[in-house]
Structure 1
Amino acid sequence: MRCLWLTLADPEPKKNGQLIYSGGLIQSMATGGTKLHVIGLDRHGEKDGLPRACANIRWQLHRRHHRPTWRRLASPLPNLASFGASSAGRQAVDQALAAEVWDAVVFDSIMSGWALGSVLRQRHRARKLVYLAHNCETIAARRIADDTRGVRWLARRLDAAKTAVLERRLLGAADFVTADSPDDCETLAPFTTAKKVSYVPAGYDGPRVSRRTITERLPRRAIIVGSFDWLAKRESLERFLEAATARLTAARVDLQVVGSAEPHYLDGLRRRYPSVDFVGPVADVLPYMAAARIALVPDLLGGFKLKGLDYVFNRLPILSMRGSLPGMPLEDRRSYGLFDTHVSLVEGILSHIDSLDTLNAYHQRAFDACAKTFDWSQIGRQLIADIFRS
């Protein structure tokens, strides 16, 4: 199978869930025998040159085109899709479609939706169109707008409307649609031609800790690991911090936040919440996870969370907002703890932080439940077969 794959960017370095998921799918499809022509942004400023050479993958990367605010507001594209849009990218898509007929053209998340018009104009050059949903983007955009006040509310409501239009267009145009969580499959299915969305989970190829026992020698620390470049992630983090910092400080429970974000954003958080350790991006997150008793998922939006797999396979017991870890075979109060509000999540931290037997049981059961799933090679083979059958 020959596939034209439209993605956000070169996935290396994989600093957030979007890049990990896209990179894993691209590599697993190539390993499964599919020949891929991948078009997306380069990572100028983060790395030099093309991704490392890999059989069955041809990379064609272009530089991001920065637009002034008024141009973004006037564009019919939502912010997520306009991020990667450029004349160079559209030209690359047009040339690839003109050069040959593809077995499939893949839109890898709504962030590649800038190319939909180009692909539809040469629809006869693609035997199948595939849309890989990374989220229910309309719901996420509306929630961000609802949490906004002042002048920004109007801009974000406009962006939510644009998001809804593009998401519906992608869902309606695609012959085959996938999502990375069962909940998103159910939500998106009514808007597809086939009234069906296939579940394609993320894989995990990171380290697996064979044995770990949490003892009193470990700091009374809870940790949040992730990327905080996306506005929805920031909203969830900040609302949790408002509910948590005073109570955790009073109880002498450390809170540590590890992961990438713009430096000025982290500096602002440090000023607002001086008792929290905002580490920022690190080369190796494993020592930080090994030094914590509890891992937190304070996200208010669904969608598969790749950090959940990092937590499980590094044997960190998880406390999470309900609905924030769909697609993981975990049981509430058996292999992790679920909570309905940030306030109740804080209460869960306080009640669990010294319950060492419970914490050790949580991470052992979670590891056992996930040990034989989330294999990238198997996921790639299944995706290839499903595209062929669609």
Structure 2
Amino acid sequence: MAYLWLTLCDPDPQTNGQFIYSGGLIRAVAKAGVELSVLGLSRQPGCAHRRREPNIDWHFAEDRRLNRWRRTASRFPAFAQRTRVPDMRAALATRLATGRWDAVVLDSINVGWALPHVLRHRRRHPQTRIAYLAQNDETAAARTLAEAQKGWRRAVRTADAAKTRWLERLLLRTADLVTADSPDDCRTLAALSPGRPVVFVPPGYDGTRVPSRTIDATLPRRAIVVGSFDWPAKRLSLDAFLSTAAPVFAANGIDLQIVGRTEASHVAALRKRFPSVEVVGTVPDVRPYMANARIALVPDVLGGFKLKSLDYIFNRLPIFAMDGAVPGTPLAEGRGLRLFASHAALARGVVDMIDDTASLNEQQETAYALSVGHFDWHAIGQSLVRHIQMAPVERARGPARDGRCSPVMSALGALHIVAERCSSVFEYG
């Protein structure tokens, strides 16, 4: 079997959840016996490069972004244009022209621009299956980002959210197989394309597993948030939580640490706004920080599988989270997990439980016991291959299946240009 796999960029080093998930799936599918040709962006500035692994031919394109006018005029949303660079497009054209692929895998909406090219290839090779691996309810995420803006910035984001909605629905209607990384997203995405099931494909876990741990009074009265905060939607959730929780924790003598990758400017802004919070930023190893906390927090308000939840579970940190923020695990409210309806309730829950070490130990032990035997990359890779090979091949029907853009989307592109230009005028004069 041979698959052509399009992904955002080189997943190594695996510094955030998307890289862990994509890199893990690619290698798991390769170990299941599939020959993969993988296309993505290089993370080495100013150069393209290639490398080989068993069953994997990696090609990483030079990351050269389109100019602003071409980006805003495009029918595709901004994040789907990130990978639509000349080298990536040329590599895709070459592989579609020369290869006979059992499947083409579109790993997240970031490579959704390639769908029309893949559909044209499928006309010549009708047995090629198309798989779309969703990693979020992208329309909901885009709307959340739009609603957080004001003025012309909001208009720009709103236009982009409309493009996101169009592309996401096109992928859902067209792909032979659609997967998602959480049961909640499976249900949401399936509702957008009735009659077409969405398969749950969780991440695997091959990190540290702490065999035993006791939380006691010798540990600092500390809660911790671990993760990467490159994605704007995650920053919004974190900022909203800190606005609520930081004064509550400070008033009750509870330490709060934020540990993980984010831009230096974001670290500086958080430290200025929330001086009582220890914003650590990027570290070479998060394990010592987790070992010195009593509670792990997941304050995210958007769905999708949280890879950090597996780090928490297998490093034996009890998880306090927002409702819906830890989908796809065997845990449930009261069974290895505490869930809260609001950031204020989450903060109050930490205050109420931080000194109840007996309950915290019972929670982390339950979570670990429930999760052992799950999240095996090898089994996940084999399962994904089976689903791809068994997926019924759809036949292109009508303009939407060709990926053509409607007049409404063309108009949104024009609106996006005007909004972006006006935003620049107001911002820079």
- What is the aligned partner in structure 1 of residue 12 from structure 2? 12
Amino acid at match of 2:285: D
Amino acid at match of 2:178: V
Contact 1:21-1:202 at 8 Å conserved across structures: yes
- What is the aligned partner in structure 2 of residue 29 from structure 1? 29
- What is the aligned partner in structure 2 of residue 38 from structure 1? 38
Deviation at 1:71, TM superposition (A): 3.3
Contact 2:336-2:366 at 8 Å conserved across structures: yes
Contact 1:303-1:326 at 8 Å conserved across structures: yes
Contact 2:321-2:346 at 8 Å conserved across structures: yes
Contact 1:64-1:85 at 8 Å conserved across structures: no
Query: What are the residue-to-residue correspondences of 1:196-345 with 2, within 5 Å?
Result: 196-345=197-346
Larger radius of gyration, structure 1 or 2? 2
- What is the aligned partner in structure 2 of residue 111 from structure 1? 110
- What is the aligned partner in structure 2 of residue 358 from structure 1? 359
- What is the aligned partner in structure 1 of residue 409 from structure 2? none
- What is the aligned partner in structure 2 of residue 97 from structure 1? 96
Contact 2:46-2:62 at 8 Å conserved across structures: no
> C-alpha separation between the residues in 2 aligned to 1:143 and 1:244?
21
CA offset digits 1:219-260 (Å, max 9, x no partner):
111000111111100000000010011111111111100111
> C-alpha separation between the residues in 2 aligned to 1:44 and 1:242?
36
Report percent identity of matched pairs.
50
Amino acid at match of 2:116: G
TM-score, normalization: structure 2? 0.88
CA offset digits 1:138-193 (Å, max 9, x no partner):
11111221222222111110110010111111111101111111111111113447
The 3 A distance-change label for structure 1 pair 189 and 306 is: same
The 3 A distance-change label for structure 1 pair 316 and 55 is: same
Amino acid at match of 2:344: V
CA offset digits 1:51-102 (Å, max 9, x no partner):
5x42100011101122344433222111221112111111111100111210
Deviation at 1:120, TM superposition (A): 2.0
- What is the aligned partner in structure 1 of residue 369 from structure 2? 368
Deviation at 1:43, TM superposition (A): 1.0
Deviation at 1:214, TM superposition (A): 0.4
> C-alpha separation between the residues in 2 aligned to 1:76 and 1:285?
40
* Partner SS state of residue 37, structure 2: strand
The 3 A distance-change label for structure 1 pair 4 and 49 is: closer
Amino acid at match of 1:81: A
The 3 A distance-change label for structure 1 pair 246 and 264 is: same
Amino acid at match of 2:78: N
TM-score, normalization: structure 1? 0.97
Moved more, 191-200 or 135-144: 191-200
When the two chains are superposed, the root-mean-square deviation of aligned CA atoms in Å is 1.6
> C-alpha separation between the residues in 2 aligned to 1:38 and 1:157?
32
Query: What are the residue-to-residue correspondences of 1:145-156 with 2, within 5 Å?
Result: 145-156=146-157
Does residue 49 of structure 2 align to residue 86 of structure 1? no
* Partner SS state of residue 336, structure 1: strand
Contact 1:93-1:119 at 8 Å conserved across structures: no
* Partner SS state of residue 61, structure 1: strand
> C-alpha separation between the residues in 2 aligned to 1:165 and 1:174?
14
Unaligned runs of at least 5 residues, structure 1: none
Contact 2:2-2:102 at 8 Å conserved across structures: yes
Contact 1:223-1:295 at 8 Å conserved across structures: yes
Query: What are the residue-to-residue correspondences of 1:36-75 with 2, within 5 Å?
Result: 36-45=36-45, 50=50, 53-75=52-74
- What is the aligned partner in structure 1 of residue 158 from structure 2? 157
- What is the aligned partner in structure 1 of residue 185 from structure 2? 184
Deviation at 1:47, TM superposition (A): 11
* Partner SS state of residue 336, structure 2: coil
* Partner SS state of residue 333, structure 2: coil
Amino acid at match of 2:102: D
Runs of 4+ in 1 over 3 A off after TM superposition: 45-51, 67-71, 190-194
